[in-house]
Amino acid sequence: MTIQQQCISLDDPAAWQRALSGIPHSFGHTWENCYAMHLTSGQRTYLYCLEHEDTRIVCPIAEREYDGAIDIVKPFGFSGFVGNGNWEEFQRHWKQFVRERGYVCSYLGINPVFDHGDSFEPAELFQYDTVHLLDLSQDMEELWRNLSTNRKRQLKDWQRINGNFVFQHEQLVDFFLENHRAFFSRKGADQCYHFSDETLAFLFDCENVVLVGVGGAKGIEAVSVFAYTADLGEYLFNVSLPEGRDHSVPLIWFGVNHLKHMGIPMLNLGGGRGGVGESKRRYGGRELPLRCIKQIYDDERYHQLCRKAGVDPDDPGGYFPAYRKALHIGVKED
């Protein structure tokens, strides 16, 4: 019985792509996304890959150092463990592999669309958000019927709105780079949205990333960004000026039309608590739990780090890993 486990580095995009071949996955799994996020984080980033007979399971991971210890985390993006099948022995071999690499613990993701959560212990799984998924295999009439009354009202003048869309790539990129920091600051966005210009410039140059904007009397007022694989489209970002805050609905509806026309089967609108989540619920999609995995591989070292940081090591439902909490006061888990 041959079992192969490896971490494919960003230096080998061809091997990364081969490992994803035949596995349903999202843009967050791709080399392009992980390389772009590495340009901000500087973290050593890999695609973990296990192969056993005909089964292959993959997951992007990034290494972080803390007081001489290394833990692993998911890079920014909608990724998590995915595979072309399940294998009951996967969890045991995964834990053996990460222990051999000397990792103390991990905070990783379960992809709710291509769910692999059954591979993990229930005590290690935690729901922290909900995502909203639109089924683009439906015809446009059905997608329209599923919209809330308010969403239909916001889109009633669709033909006029269509004439205000902006597609000039360079102008859209310039607008986003000039305005994203102020916009995310106004919205109180998590620290994980503090991207470098290098990350955004690389991301926006990828062929499976789409930018679209809406123009006003004085120029562009809002830009939305979508990404996709053959399996899933994603609503990544929206940045607007204060006068462009009402453009997000037509921009998302453009994304629905555009990705459906391309034959992409689903659109992930993402998650969000409170009003953000309610706003996405009005598109009439399916709600799925967004879960993470919190695992400890070296109990002694983990407790040692927590004691040194003055935090409780025995609260897995709180910030994880607990010893990093002081570095992230006021920052939500992403």
Tell whether 152 and 283 lie within a shared domain: yes
- Cα(255)–Cα(233) distance, integer angstroms: 9
User: Distance (Å, rounded) from C-alpha 18 to C-alpha 138?
Assistant: 31
- Shared domain check, 268 and 191: yes
Residues 278 and 142 in one domain: yes
- Same domain for 103 and 147? no
CA distance 294 to 109: 9
Query: Does residue 153 sit in the same domain as residue 23?
Result: no
Domain match, 320 and 211 both? no
- The H or E element containing residue 46 is strand 45-52
Q: 189 and 123, same structural domain? A: no
Residues 286, 265 contacting (CB under 8 angstroms): no
3-state secondary structure of 82: strand
Confidence at residue 333, expressed as pLDDT on a 0 to 100 scale: 40
* Alpha-carbon span 313 to 233, nearest angstrom: 38
Mean pLDDT computed over every residue of the chain: 92
Residues of the chain with pLDDT under 50: 329-334
The structure tokens listed for 82 are 């995915």
Residue 144 maps to which CATH number? 3.40.630.30
- Whether residues 138 and 241 share a domain: the answer is yes
Look at residue 333 and tell me if it is in a domain. Answer: no
How many whole angstroms separate alpha carbon 215 and alpha carbon 244? 9
179 residue type, one letter: N
Question: What is the phi/psi pair of residue 83, to 5°?
Answer: -165, 175
Same domain, 265 and 246: yes
What's the rounded Cα separation, in Å, for the pair 74 and 181?
23
**Cβ count within 10 A of residue 329:** 7
Whole-prediction pTM value?
Answer: 0.93
Number of structural domains the chain divides into? 2
Which tokens go with 112?
């709710």
Residue-range definition of the domain harbouring residue 281? 132-288
Predicted pLDDT at 88: 87
Residue 140 and residue 158: Cα distance in Å, rounded? 14
Q: In this predicted model, what pLDDT tens digit does every residue of 19-56 receive, in sequence order?
A: 999 999 999 999 999 999 999 999 999 999 999 999 99
Cis peptide leading into 321, omega within 30 of 0? Answer: yes
d(C-alpha 168, C-alpha 257), whole Å: 19
Indicate whether 144 and 203 sit together in one domain: yes
Whether residues 101 and 249 share a domain: the answer is no
Angle 288-292-293 from CA coordinates, rounded to 5°: 140
Contact 309, 325 (CB under 8 A): yes
What gap in Å lies between CA 241 and CA 328, rounded to an integer?
Answer: 28
Choose the final residue of a domain: 288, 304, 320: 288
Cα dist from 177 to 237, 240, 249, whole Å: 12, 12, 21
**End-to-end CA, the chain:** 37
Q: Are residues 167 and 256 in the same domain?
A: yes
Write down the pLDDT at residue 29: 98
Per residue in 166-223, pLDDT (tens digit) is 999 999 999 999 999 999 888 877 778 889 999 999 999 999 999 999 998 889 999 9
In-domain check, residue 22: yes
